[in-house]
């Protein structure tokens, strides 16, 4: 990817996260990136292509984040790492993750399939630990992660660290 393409993606990411996808024009993205609008169309064809590039980048980023969990053999570590996942995200990446959450609602984009490897790793971990309903436990952890991450990104007054610690204690991991 060229430096200008990266500038365009970063500008789009920031504007889509702050103002919403529908409210952001390609001309605004171009101005924010310091490039011509034509360059956006040359590299990404249209606004939807630009969004798709960001979503592809997001899928790759998510894979990077969960690979350590998915490859972990110790079931207790799988569960602990999954619970601690929201706290592992650097604050400098919050705009990117805010956009992911915003798109879930604004464009009704579903990311369930992207979380499937994590869900499977958790299900296997709970199965190894002889939980009665390993798939439901895995779904519950994924929902906890989603809720905690959402609260952290919104800068709510939820004490995420205490909640993460509580969940680790609850699951004895």
- Residue 39: pLDDT above 90? yes
How large is the average pLDDT for residues 122-144?
97
Taking the alpha carbons at both ends of the chain, their separation in whole angstroms is 41
How large is the average pLDDT for residues 44-53?
93
Number of helices (H) and strands (E) in the chain: give both, helices first. 9, 0
Domain-wise residue ranges, the chain? 3-170
Q: For the ranges 19-23, 58-62, 143-147, 166-170, which has the lowest average pLDDT?
A: 58-62
- For residues 28 and 61, the model is more confident at 28
Residue 13, both tokens: 């990411």
Q: What CATH topology corresponds to 3-170?
A: Tetracycline Repressor; domain 2 (1.10.357)
For residues 1 and 53, the answer to whether their CB atoms sit within 8 Å is no
């Amino acid at each position: 990817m060229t430096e200008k393409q990266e500038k365009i993606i970063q500008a789009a990411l920031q504007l889509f996260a702050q103002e919403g996808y529908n409210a952001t024009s390609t001309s605004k993205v171009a101005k924010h990136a310091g490039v011509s609008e034509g360059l956006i169309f040359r590299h990404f064809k249209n606004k939807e292509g630009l969004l798709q590039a960001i979503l592809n980048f997001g899928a790759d980023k998510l894979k990077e984040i969960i690979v350590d969990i998915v490859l972990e053999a110790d079931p207790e570590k799988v569960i602990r790492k999954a619970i601690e996942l929201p706290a592992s995200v650097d604050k400098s990446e919050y705009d990117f993750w805010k956009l992911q959450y915003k798109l879930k609602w604004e464009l009704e984009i579903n990311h369930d399939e992207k979380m499937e490897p994590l869900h499977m790793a958790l299900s296997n971990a709970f199965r190894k630990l002889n939980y009665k309903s390993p798939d439901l436990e895995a779904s519950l952890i994924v929902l906890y992660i989603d809720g905690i991450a959402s609260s952290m990104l919104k800068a709510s007054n939820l004490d995420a660290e205490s909640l993460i610690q509580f969940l680790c204690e609850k699951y004895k991991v």
